Structure 1
Amino acid sequence: MPDAEMTALLQAVLDEVCADLPPWDTTTRERVAERLRNLVRSGRSSVDELKRVGGDALIRAPTMWP
């Protein structure tokens, strides 16, 4: 579980990356948040990398097809 500082960083990056999303688009916001959590779990947590991964999650919609 991330500490308070990491949680605040993740929240700030999530808010920044998702700033242009409509408020009702919670599915996309959740997808971005999950990608950010996965990145931190893998041991990587630089601000630049978090923003890059968050941005990638916005433009790469999930698909059911391999």
Structure 2
Amino acid sequence: MFDAETTALLRAVLDEVCENVSRHETTARTHVASKILEAATRGETAMSNQKQVGRRALGERP
């Protein structure tokens, strides 16, 4: 798992990337979250990289 600081960063990125996505659109938010987590697992934890991953995932959401 990730430390508290990284977890907070990932949550902030998800919230920012999905700021215009309704909290009721769980499929889209879950897709973005999973892509952000995949990137973090590969060691991509810089906020700028995470935002890019999140925005790309938002564009390809199911």
Q: Which runs of 4+ in 1 moved over 6 A?
A: none
Whose radius of gyration is greater, 1 or 2? 1
CA RMSD, aligned part only? 0.9
TM-score scaled by length of structure 1 = 0.88
Q: Which runs of 5+ in 1 are unaligned?
A: none
1:20 Cα deviation (Å)? 0.1
Letter in 2 for 1:48: S
Report the TM-score when normalising by structure 2.
Answer: 0.94
Identity %: 44
Residue of structure 1 in register with 2:13 after alignment: 13
Letter in 1 for 2:34: E
* 1:22-41 C-alpha deviation (Å, 9 max, x unpaired): 22101110111100110011
